[in-house]
Amino acid sequence: MVGHQHAAAIPQWISPDRFEPYLRHAGHDRDKACELYEWAAELNSAAFQAIHYVEVILRNAIDLQLQKRRNEDAAKIPWFLTPLGSDNKSQQEIDYAVAQVRERLRKVDKRKDTRAQIVAGLTFGFWANLLQTRHEDLWRSTIRHAFPRSSGNRSDVAPIVFKLRTFRNRLAHHDSLLAVDVPFQINQMITLLDWIDEDAAHWLRSTEKATAVHAQRPFARNDTVVVAGADAWPLYQKVHAYVCQPGRAFQPVEHLAFYTARAIQPEIPVIRERIDNVDWTTAESRRRRATGDPKDQRLADIIDQSIADGWTGGRYQVFLLSAPGDTGHHTRRSTIPHTAPPGRGQAYTQGQRYAVRQKLISARTTSDLT
């Protein structure tokens, strides 16, 4: 078998430190690590195309509402050149950001200092910052109308925008995506666009290429996350879902397993969908039931069951999982006992740990998973 023709040079071209994660994920096979790096670069490009659409649509949606607030058609003065009614510090931040863009445009060509160019020059971070808590009054009066299909709560919209800003910056700096759940990020983008305009969400879903590129990873990887399940396992048995804290990061995986009572439990469900930042109240449950949407009905069932079991309110991240007998779901004949000696710090996992599903299917003890 012929190896990668640039296997010796690529680590030097991109730096050994940057190459190291790919080498580690490739089992220290340099040829495979080069393939993995090339795939990751293609994935980055595809994901950046998607976030490009999101950034432009997001800023235009917010800009439109701010235009209406200031009645620009009649006033003939852009909203960003008038006070927005924010506190002094926030207004100063807005003024400074606009001034920086205008200065940059004028250095290139004074004729570029136009309304359209200024709006286009404001960063993703600028628009995201308008969703901060300090702009709650502006959200209620104006910005929420940019998301007519959302719940109308800033606390639902803002976290997705903040997370996507972080993801965008990772892409822009060409950071490794090996431990990033890119399909989940794409779904977050689609959700955000759906809150703005349903057709925009359909457009992104039909044009984005990142999901397909992600599926073309050149060789096998850990495809299952094993989570600590003292509370999660009993809930799964009732509602076939995993619930954890919002914003918790996960590597891209297709399956989930539960570790509790010093053993990995026999069910290895398929992850159907991952939903972050769900409001965990009886009022939210009622709201979702009223929509008639099957997914909302299921989330309402999960919320109600967990509250009945004593879970506290707040916000949570939810994995909708398969049930025994569903396609792709695997049920072992027995648990996988953890073989490490008992004692503090000797659990297989106290949070999450990654494994290969096929090994989970055949393992006799957790020592077989290494």
Q: What is the DSSP string of 62-96?
A: HHHHHHHHHTHHHH-S-GGGS--S--HHHHHHHHH
**What local confidence, expressed as pLDDT, does residue 86 receive?**
66
pTM for the whole structure: 0.84
Distance CA 244, CA 81 (A): 43
Q: What is the mean pLDDT of each run of 10 residues along the chain (370 residues)?
A: 79 93 89 94 97 98 94 86 79 90 88 89 95 92 96 95 97 92 96 98 98 88 93 97 96 96 97 97 96 95 97 96 97 94 74 95 93
What is d(CA 152, CA 163) in angstroms, rounded to the nearest whole number? Answer: 19
Rounded-to-integer distance, Cα 147 and Cα 195, Å = 5
Which tokens belong to 65? 């509402």
- The amino acid that residue 336 corresponds to is I
DSSP letter (8 states) at residue 349: -
Count of CB atoms within 10 A of residue 124's CB? 19
